[in-house]
């Protein structure tokens, strides 16, 4: 075999093999070609065997040429193999049908009660504004629940809060969280910024009144606190709760433990103040009661009302929750009906 | 308090629509809404003159009237017996829509043509009087609009008054606020009286024996009154304010009450024995029948008006049946008195009566203004009842009440409100509210408070008046320097806050129940008669028989939540209550309770199947304790709570004290509450937990050497506990047996009835070198021997 014929044959072998590799349509085809070309009985191997029949002088050149062909075939095979693998994975994944609309598998799908959720949110806002949480007993004395809060004996103001009594009138179930003000003031010295969340009781039950409900009370006592500060804090609070576009309206009102007192309305969240069923067409929702702490209350806890002034505010958690979630019957809140609770 | 817009117009000059009026009053703290808008009701009704009445040819009870309705005569068929020629009547001509929506059309009535309708008061919705047509009084012209001559197209507003504003429980009070707000002048009606020559002293004398309850008592005498119906205008106004007309005498006292806010009482003078009024405390057990026909038992805390022999009225609350004005009454003794608010309030509350009169006396009436009210009513009795007024009045007023004086410092006003209010503005507001300026200088103004303002006494009260009339919207919003100060937040509060989040994250729902229970609840949870949880706090005035006591435990609330056979996972954080020593406040403790149901949400998709059991509950409890970092310091110990299965329950012990318990609810309790499935409950004392310091968490070094893992299955008697086996494995495998965990329990016939098999996963490790398999085998063998000795355990074949 002459030089020319050998090299010509190798070139042909190479180009034929590369063409075969390029047309291999699957991993299987590539593997079969590998065996056919490089296997023990393969083309290249058998060529290598023929080298022994060449002369000493011819062998190195022929061997080198053959190896070069072998290398390029190997390279082509592995390239083809990897592209075929990629193609096959892609095709397999493309081919499969999968329903992503089946429900997710639940992981700890618990939930907060609307009252708890709202309470938590409100407490969080006031804590960020610098108020600390203080709590008090649910069973109170007349002194703390009424007298020290400037509800005189035999005064019609007491009719505002129908009271449950316990132990033959010796004590009562607190009708509001305001007695916590008294406890907190007696225990500490001003300045004070406190919120008092908790459960309260009134002898009243219908679709909007529950004998057991929750309030959040807050007060701030310092030097030179004025009504504008009360407006400021409540505006900050309402804006965090309902958004910056919410409007507030302060109307004069009466609470024995504050003077001047105010009812605070916020623009209706549902109709943006245009008027709807929830706000009874007024565009406003009554959310808070507030006012400057009455000097008689400060006097009752031994604070000098000429030196210290303060404001106080309070709201019903159920009312905020019912408005927030559109709940129209307050009794639903206390029945632990899983179909109700699991909606929040 | 109902307000008649048209009546108010007569009392004060103002130029506000009813809507604007409601808005203005609300802005003053008198929350007002429009209750009943009658503006369109009577606009087409005309006044007609009945010229002729003839009988209907085809019907006995019908008449055919010829009515002049303003230049045109109309034939109108009318069924009212009282229709007569010469009457002025309200006529609805064809096309008119009546207040109830009925449109009048010409039509034939029993064959006779009728061109309209002569209306009764009821048909015009002016009263409930259906008895006949309405006959109009006064100099009228046929064809005039009814609304132009009579107060009919009214708007009724309602003010929700706060208890401090008793002075606004009347038309003049409201008018005064309007006047102060808009500057229009207040026009109190005059009260002209023509007195006879006969002195009142001849007919009546008054003695007050309880001046602390009755500081002032006055009386007027009106003789020869003709009892009859009141004129239309008065009845209309009374009804507009929700008062039912009775007769002219009673109506006049009610009318003046609504107008001035001062309760008056008219006695039939002939029933006042001895012509003497004695204002005294009731005797203990004295019986008295009020004019509603109910007999009341009184005590010396009640004040009565008596004559020489007996009580004739329950002072300030309700008149007596024995002295009320009747159709035959001729001489009227008119009472106008001032009663102490607390006395009236106690009496009304104790007897369960709330009258227009007691409601106002409780809130405070005008000790001086009562003279005006008395004269106003006397004047009306003279004009409308035709009575003769005796000369003078009886007025017993032993200790005249002086007016309160209060000083407003302008600097204080501004420091409370946070704005600068002009001195003239502030003073002007007080003056418009009828507070007389006594002194004024650069820094302050001192005013005298009229008697009708019970709520004004201190400087802060005056500040509120200025703020109210100056407008809350003028107060400028600013942000205070809020600093929490040295208030330390409660550990228990913080525990509760984080626990809620944890419980939610592990799949529990937050529940809320009432704090109330009833005694049968304690039976349902099977408490023995002397169980400590029976020390419940009773409510004196419960709303319902189900809510008679404060709950001593969360258990009844949790169990009774499980009404349905569905998947339930609840927790509740709330207080429980117990009676302590005599005179001591009841105890209040924060508890965390939880309940999970046996039934799991079905469906293979959820990846959960089967049922929950006791160990799910235990897992929840452990997760709570571990979350709080006290799992390591807790021990479990056998318990005997009656509401659990006797063997399926445990106490949670920390530092030797039980802080909670958990268990499977007793079948009898399930039955009592109609719970349709097995449920598992726990209750933990959070105040107790708050007192426990979590064990500090200290990092233990990770071993560089691999561990050898082995499983072991042991057959033991059913009475042998898992815990004792683990303990035995650990002690015999020490120090190499680091992890020992139960992973399976099996009971079966092949093991025998009183046997069970428990399988454990074990991990052996030495921190200084790698254990060989042979070493692990030796440890395993040692454990097998040990557990046999300790617990009689056999290696399961
Ligand atoms: Zn709305």
User: What would the DSSP string read from start to end of B124-160?
Assistant: TTS-S--SSB--B-SS--TT-BHHHHSS-S-EEEEEE
Q: Which domain holds residue A328?
A: 115-341
User: Which secondary-structure segment (H or E) carries B274?
Assistant: none
A281: left (phi over 0), alpha (psi -120 to 50) or beta: left
- pLDDT confidence of residue A9: 77
CA dist B308 and B331 (Å) reads 18
Listed residues A95, A125, A141: the one ending a domain: A95
| Nearest by Cα to B6 from B123, B126, B129, B144 | B126
A254 in B contact zone (CB under 8 Å):
yes
Mutate: best of B458, B477, B538, partner A, most A CBs <10 A? B477
Q: Above 80 in pLDDT, residue A54? A: no
Same domain, A230 and A313: yes
CA dist A341 and A335 (Å) reads 9
Same domain, A199 and A303: yes
Q: Inter-axis angle of helices A27-38 and A58-95, to 10 degrees? A: 170
CA dist B77 and B573 (Å) reads 74
A116 in B contact zone (CB under 8 Å):
yes
Long-range contact set of residues A187-190: C-beta below 8 Å, sequence gap at least 24:
A188/B485, A188/B486, A188/B487, A189/B485, A190/A221, A190/A222, A190/A303, A190/A308, A190/A310, A190/B485
Q: Is A25 part of a structural domain of the chain? A: yes
Note whether B504 contacts A111, CB cutoff 8 Å: yes
For range A35-53, the mean pLDDT: 79
Same domain, A177 and A289: yes
Q: Is A2 part of a structural domain of the chain? A: no
A290 in B contact zone (CB under 8 Å):
no
Q: Is A102 part of a structural domain of the chain? A: no
Q: Which residues contact B267 (CB under 8 A, 6 or more apart)?
A: B312, B313, B319, B323, B325, B332, B333, B334, B335
Structural contact between residues B238 and B248, judged by C-beta atoms closer than 8 angstroms? no
For A:18-47, CB contacts with B below 8 A are none
Closest Cβ opposite residue A110 in set B346, B508, B539: B508
Spacing, Cα B21 to ligand 1 middle (Å): 22
Q: Is A101 part of a structural domain of the chain? A: no
- pLDDT confidence of residue A5: 59
Note whether B346 contacts A341, CB cutoff 8 Å: no
- pLDDT confidence of residue A48: 74
Measure the CA dihedral B467/B473/B476/B479, to 10°: 100
Closest Cβ opposite residue B480 in set A109, A192, A232: A232
Token couple for B171: 């038309």
Query: A334 vs chain B: nearest CA distance in angstroms?
Result: 5
Q: Above 60 in pLDDT, residue A3? A: no
B233 CA to centre of own chain: 36
A62 falls in which pLDDT band (50, 70, 90)?
confident
Residue located via tokens 């009282």: B82
Structural contact between residues A165 and B523, judged by C-beta atoms closer than 8 angstroms? no
Same domain, A64 and A134: no
- pLDDT confidence of residue B155: 96
Walk across the sheet containing B117-118 and list its strands. B73-78, B63-68, B46-55, B88-92, B117-118
| DSSP labels, B332-394 | EEEEEEE--HHHHHHHHHHHT---HHHHHHHH---TTTHHHHHHHHHHHHHHHH--EEEES-E
- pLDDT confidence of residue A6: 65
Long-range contact set of residues A119-125: C-beta below 8 Å, sequence gap at least 24:
A119/A197, A119/A214, A119/A216, A119/A317, A120/B497, A120/B500, A121/A241, A122/A197, A122/A216, A122/A237, A122/A241, A122/A315, A122/A317, A122/A320, A123/A195, A123/A197, A123/A216, A123/B497, A125/A237, A125/A240, A125/A241
Same domain, A69 and A129: no
B240 CA to centre of own chain: 26
Residue located via tokens 């035999």: A154
Query: B360 vs chain A: nearest CA distance in angstroms?
Result: 10
CA dist B506 and B155 (Å) reads 59
End-to-end CA distance of chain A: 90
Pairing, β B404-409 against β B216-223: unpaired
- Half-sphere exposure of residue A199, counting CA atoms within 13 Å on the CB side? 22
Same domain, A335 and A199: yes
Q: How many CB pairs under 8 A join A and B?
A: 253
Mutate: best of A134, A185, A205, A228, partner B, most B CBs <10 A? A228
Structural contact between residues B61 and B74, judged by C-beta atoms closer than 8 angstroms? no
Average pLDDT along chain A: 89
- pLDDT confidence of residue B61: 87
Spacing, Cα A271 to ligand 1 middle (Å): 4
Same domain, A194 and A149: yes
Q: Is A266 part of a structural domain of the chain? A: yes
Question: Phi and psi for A299 in degrees, rounded to 5?
Answer: -65, -40
Q: Above 80 in pLDDT, residue A108? A: no
CA dist B6 and B636 (Å) reads 78
Contacts of B341 in chain A (CB under 8 A): 154
Question: B466 vs A35, which has greater pLDDT?
Answer: B466
pLDDT per residue as tens digits for the range B652-686:
999 889 999 999 999 999 999 999 999 999 999 99
Q: CA torsion sign, A168 to A174 to A179 to A183?
A: positive
Same domain, A259 and A301: yes
| Nearest by Cα to A301 from A199, A163, A218, A184 | A184
Structural contact between residues A306 and A186, judged by C-beta atoms closer than 8 angstroms? no
Spacing, Cα A326 to ligand 1 middle (Å): 11
Closest Cβ opposite residue B475 in set A130, A192, A228: A228
Give the ipTM of the model, two decimals please: 0.88
Give the three-class secondary structure for A25.
coil
Listed residues A95, A124, A143: the one ending a domain: A95
Count of domains for chain A? 2
Contacts of A159 in chain B (CB under 8 A): 163
Structural contact between residues B404 and B456, judged by C-beta atoms closer than 8 angstroms? yes
- Half-sphere exposure of residue B130, counting CA atoms within 13 Å on the CB side? 0
Question: Phi and psi for A140 in degrees, rounded to 5?
Answer: -120, 175
Q: Is A40 part of a structural domain of the chain? A: yes
Q: CA torsion sign, B467 to B471 to B476 to B478?
A: positive
For range A276-294, the mean pLDDT: 91
Same domain, A266 and A312: yes
Closest Cβ opposite residue A252 in set B472, B488, B510: B472
Give the three-class secondary structure for B87.
coil
Q: Which residues contact A265 (CB under 8 A, 6 or more apart)?
A: A248, A249, A251, A284, A285, A286, A287
Q: Give the CATH number of the domain where residue A153 resides.
A: 3.30.930.10
Query: B514 vs chain A: nearest CA distance in angstroms?
Result: 6
Listed residues A32, A67, A95: the one ending a domain: A95
- pLDDT confidence of residue A1: 43
Largest pairwise CA distance in chain A: 132
Token couple for B310: 């007996």
Buried b (16+ CB within 10 A) or exposed e, B657-681: eebbbbbbbbeebbebbebebbbbb
pLDDT < 50 stretches in chain B? none
| Cβ-based burial of A217 (10 A; exposed 0-12, middle 13-18, buried ≥19) | buried
Residues belonging to chain B: 797
Q: Is A58 part of a structural domain of the chain? A: yes
Same domain, A148 and A251: yes
User: Which secondary-structure segment (H or E) carries B8?
Assistant: helix B5-11
Report the 10 Å Cβ neighbour count for B705: 11
CA dist B180 and B471 (Å) reads 13
Same domain, A55 and A185: no
Same domain, A245 and A335: yes
Q: Is A1 part of a structural domain of the chain? A: no
**Integer angstrom CA distances of residue A55 from A5, A52, A60, B398:** 15, 8, 9, 154
| Nearest by Cα to B762 from B782, B737, B728 | B737
């Amino acid at each position: 075999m002459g030089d020319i014929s050998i090299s010509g044959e190798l070139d042909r072998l190479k180009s034929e093999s590369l063409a075969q590799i390029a047309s291999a349509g699957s991993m299987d085809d590539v593997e079969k070609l590998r065996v056919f070309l490089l296997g023990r009985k393969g083309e290249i191997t058998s060529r290598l065997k023929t080298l022994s029949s060449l002369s000493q002088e011819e062998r190195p050149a022929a061997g080198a040429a053959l190896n070069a062909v072998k290398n390029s075939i190997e390279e082509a095979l592995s390239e083809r193999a990897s592209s075929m693998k990629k193609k096959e994975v892609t095709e397999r994944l493309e081919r499969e049908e999968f329903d992503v609309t089946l429900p997710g598998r639940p992981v700890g799908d618990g939930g907060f009660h609307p009252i708890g959720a709202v309470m938590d949110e409100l407490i969080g806002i006031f804590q960020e504004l610098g108020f600390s949480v203080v709590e008090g007993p649910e069973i109170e004395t007349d002194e703390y629940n009424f007298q020290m809060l400037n509800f005189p004996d035999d005064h019609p103001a007491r009719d505002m809060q129908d009271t449950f009594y316990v132990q033959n009138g010796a004590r009562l179930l607190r009708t509001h969280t305001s007695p916590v003000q008294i406890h907190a003031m007696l225990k500490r010295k001003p300045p004070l910024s406190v919120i008092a969340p908790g459960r309260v009781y009134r002898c009243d039950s219908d679709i909007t009144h529950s004998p057991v409900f929750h309030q959040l009370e807050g007060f701030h006592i310092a030097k030179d606190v004025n009504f504008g500060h009360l407006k400021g804090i409540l505006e900050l609070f309402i804006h965090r709760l309902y958004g910056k576009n919410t409007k507030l309206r302060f109307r004069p009102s009466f609470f024995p433990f504050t003077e001047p007192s105010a009812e605070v309305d916020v623009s209706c969240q549902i109709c943006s103040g245009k008027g709807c069923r929830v706000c009874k067409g007024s565009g406003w929702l009554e959310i808070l009661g507030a006012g400057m702490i009455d000097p008689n209350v400060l006097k009752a806890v031994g604070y000098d009302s000429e030196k210290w002034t303060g404001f106080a505010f309070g709201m019903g958690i159920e009312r905020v929750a019912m408005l927030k979630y559109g709940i129209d019957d307050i009794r639903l809140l206390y029945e632990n009906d899983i179909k109700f609770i699991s909606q929040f | 308090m109902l307000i008649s817009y048209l009546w108010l117009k007569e009392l004060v000059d103002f130029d506000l629509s009813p809507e604007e009026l409601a808005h203005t009053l609300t802005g003053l703290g008198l929350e007002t809404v429009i209750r009943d808008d009658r503006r369109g009701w009577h606009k087409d009704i005309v006044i007609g003159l009945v010229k002729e009445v003839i009988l209907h040819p085809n019907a006995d009870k019908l008449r055919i009237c010829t009515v002049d309705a303003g230049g045109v005569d109309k034939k109108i068929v009318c069924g009212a017996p009282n229709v007569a020629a010469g009457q002025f009547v309200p006529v609805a001509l064809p096309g008119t829509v009546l207040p109830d929506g009925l449109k009048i059309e010409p039509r034939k009535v029993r064959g006779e043509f009728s061109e309209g309708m002569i209306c009764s008061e009821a048909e015009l919705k002016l009263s409930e009087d259906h008895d006949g047509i309405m006959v109009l009084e006064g100099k009228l012209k046929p064809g005039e609009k009814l609304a132009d001559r009579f107060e009919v197209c009214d708007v009724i507003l309602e003010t929700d008054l706060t208890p401090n504003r008793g002075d606004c429980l009347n038309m003049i009070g409201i008018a005064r606020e309007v006047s102060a707000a808009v500057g229009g002048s207040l026009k109190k009606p005059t009260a002209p009286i023509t007195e006879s020559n006969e002195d009142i002293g001849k007919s009546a004398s008054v003695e007050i024996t309880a001046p602390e309850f009755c500081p002032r008592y006055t009386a007027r005498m009106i003789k020869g009154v003709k009892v009859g119906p009141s004129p239309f205008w008065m009845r209309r106004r009374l009804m507009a304010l929700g008062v039912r007309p009775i007769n002219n005498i009673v109506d006049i006292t009610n009318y003046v009450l609504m107008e001035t806010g001062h309760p008056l009482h008219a006695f039939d003078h002939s029933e006042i024995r001895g012509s003497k009024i004695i204002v005294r405390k009731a005797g203990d057990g004295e019986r008295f029948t009020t004019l509603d026909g109910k007999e009341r038992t009184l005590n010396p805390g009640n004040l009565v008006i008596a004559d020489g022999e007996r009580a004739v009225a329950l002072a300030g609350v309700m008149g007596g049946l024995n002295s009320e004005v009747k159709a035959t009454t001729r001489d009227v003794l008119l009472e106008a008195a001032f009663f102490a608010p607390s006395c009236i309030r106690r009496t009304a509350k104790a007897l369960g009566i709330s009258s227009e009169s007691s409601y106002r006396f409780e809130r405070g009436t005008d000790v001086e203004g009562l003279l005006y009210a008395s004269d106003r009513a006397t004047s009306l009795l003279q004009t409308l009842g035709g009575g003769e007024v005796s000369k003078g009045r009886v007025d017993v007023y032993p200790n005249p009440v002086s007016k309160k004086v209060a000083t407003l410092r302008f600097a204080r006003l501004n420091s409370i409100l946070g704005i600068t209010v002009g001195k003239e503005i502030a003073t002007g507001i007080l003056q418009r509210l009828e507070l007389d300026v006594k002194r004024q200088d650069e820094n302050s103004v001192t005013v005298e408070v009229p008697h009708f303002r019970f709520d004004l006494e201190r400087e802060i009260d005056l500040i509120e008046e200025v703020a109210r009339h100056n407008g809350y919207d003028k107060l400028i919003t600013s942000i205070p320097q809020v600093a929490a100060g040295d208030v330390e937040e409660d550990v228990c509060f913080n525990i509760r806050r984080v626990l809620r989040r944890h419980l939610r994250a592990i799949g529990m729902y937050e529940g809320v129940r009432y704090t109330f229970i009833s005694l049968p609840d304690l039976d349902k949870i099977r408490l023995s008669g002397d169980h400590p949880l029976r020390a419940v706090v009773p409510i004196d005035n419960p709303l319902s028989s189900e809510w008679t006591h404060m709950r001593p435990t969360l258990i009844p609330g949790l169990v009774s939540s499980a009404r349905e056979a569905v998947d339930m996972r609840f927790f509740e954080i709330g207080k429980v209550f117990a009676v302590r020593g005599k005179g001591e406040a009841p105890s209040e403790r924060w508890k965390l309770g939880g309940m999970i149901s046996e039934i799991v949400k079905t469906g293979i998709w959820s990846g959960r199947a089967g049922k929950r059991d006791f160990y799910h509950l235990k897992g929840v409890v452990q997760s709570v304790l571990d979350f709080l970092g006290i799992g390591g310091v807790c021990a479990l110990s056998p318990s005997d709570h009656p509401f659990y299965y006797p063997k399926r329950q445990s106490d949670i012990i920390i530092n030797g004290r039980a802080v909670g318990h958990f268990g499977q609810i007793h079948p009898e309790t399930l039955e009592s509450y109609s719970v349709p499935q097995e449920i598992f409950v726990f209750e933990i004392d959070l105040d107790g937990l708050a007192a426990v310091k979590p064990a500090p968490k200290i990092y233990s070094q990770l071993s560089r050497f691999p561990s050898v893992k082995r499983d072991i299955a042991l057959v033991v008697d059913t009475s042998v506990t898992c815990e004792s086996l683990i303990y035995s494995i650990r002690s015999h495998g020490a120090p190499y047996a680091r992890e020992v965990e139960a992973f399976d329990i099996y009971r079966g016939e092949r093991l025998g009835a009183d046997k069970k098999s428990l399988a454990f996963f074990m991990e052996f490790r030495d921190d200084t070198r790698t254990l060989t398999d042979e070493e692990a085998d030796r440890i395993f063998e040692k454990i097998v021997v040990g557990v046999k000795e300790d617990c009689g355990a056999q290696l399961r074949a």
